[in-house]
Amino acid sequence: MLLQVLGTAAGGGLPQWNCACPGCTGARAHPERRRRHASLAVRAAEGCWYVVNATPDIGEQIEDCPDLRPGPGARQTPIAGVVLTDAELDHTLGIARFREAAAGFEVLATAPVRQAVGEGLGLDAVLGPYTDVRWRELTAAGCSLGGGGLRVSAVPLSGKRPRYAANSTNSGDSWSVALRLHDSGTGRTLLYAPALAVWSDAFDEAVRDADLVFVDGTFWDDDEPLRCGFSTRTATGMGHLPITGPGGTARRLARLPGRCLYTHLNNTNPLGNPHAEQHKLLAEWGIEVAAERMVIEL
């Protein structure tokens, strides 16, 4: 299994266009600190890739990864489709960019996410005149990607839905899921969870079984949104378990046998600064922060 990290930032990226917080100001002064919206690309077979979440940065993310660029045919692309963890705008707006896909493309999503994106955002009607969007339901039972030995399944996490879908009649905890990718050839497993509201028993079992884990690192501590003045809710109130403090994820990750990396960093998170002291604390726990454009062979 070959992985390309396409982005590691939460909504808005780093810097965020309308923000002058220390994190965004620092990223403008030091371009090496810039982070694009959290996304991942995984190779399902030779010349066949799937993008995990299609962000507003998808065009630039593809151009930055030679393996994802088109060719050798004029309109031939190695990208076969998109796998969604949720219906949030930051993870779905990039789907519209795939309207140029001459041969069409797949989108794998849970039932409520498929309805929200296809009908709520209107992407079925918008993309229909341009290309063929083939939807596949993403379930806990899983399905193969690209016809090879790579299998993807959903680990339901919560019923947190985007604001535009607040009136949806769909209920349950499959609005936000972690993705479990298992390579039958190597026996290795990846778990990708960019949004984590609750550390459930099912999630705990999934992370213990994984060789590589990407976990929600949106906020360093629970009071970060309040302290930074951009929200009246805590991190957990916004649907993101913090890294540290009571209920934090770091100490749980430190006990796991697999490699653990944080992704989906908010612009206020001190980890956006590579020189922040918080990186030393994570290193003591054996945890990393995912880097832009990193490549991992699993």
pLDDT at 98 over 90: yes
For the chain, domains (ranges, CATH) are 2-297 (3.60.15.10)
What does the alpha-carbon distance between residue 53 and residue 39 come to, in Å, rounded to a whole number? 6
Work out the average pLDDT over 137-142. Answer: 97
Report pLDDT for 185. Answer: 94
pLDDT at 22 over 90: yes
90 or 102: which carries more pLDDT confidence?
Answer: 90
Work out the average pLDDT over 198-213. Answer: 96
pLDDT at 144 over 90: yes
The DSSP line for the chain is -EEEEEE-B-TT-BS-TT--SHHHHHHHH-GGG-BPBPEEEEEEETTEEEEES--TTHHHHHHT-GGGS--SSTT--SEEEEE-S---HHHHGGGGGGGG-TT-EEEEE-HHHHHIIIIIS-HHHHHTTT--EEEEE--SS-EEETTTTEEEEEEEEE----GGGTT----SSBSEEEEEEEETTTTEEEEEES--S---HHHHHHHHH-SEEEEE-S-SSTTHHHHHTS-SS-TGGGT---SSSTT-SHHHHHT-SSEEEEE-B-TT-GGGSTT-THHHHHHHTT-EEPPTT-EEE-
What does the alpha-carbon distance between residue 82 and residue 115 come to, in Å, rounded to a whole number? 15
pLDDT at 148 over 90: no
Q: What is the mean pLDDT of the chain?
A: 96
Report pLDDT for 147. Answer: 85
Work out the average pLDDT over 113-123. Answer: 96
What does the alpha-carbon distance between residue 41 and residue 164 come to, in Å, rounded to a whole number? 27
What does the alpha-carbon distance between residue 270 and residue 272 come to, in Å, rounded to a whole number? 5
Query: Per residue in 25-75, pLDDT tens?
Result: 999 999 999 999 999 999 999 999 999 999 999 999 999 999 999 999 998
Query: Per residue in 219-241, pLDDT tens?
Result: 999 999 999 999 999 999 999 99
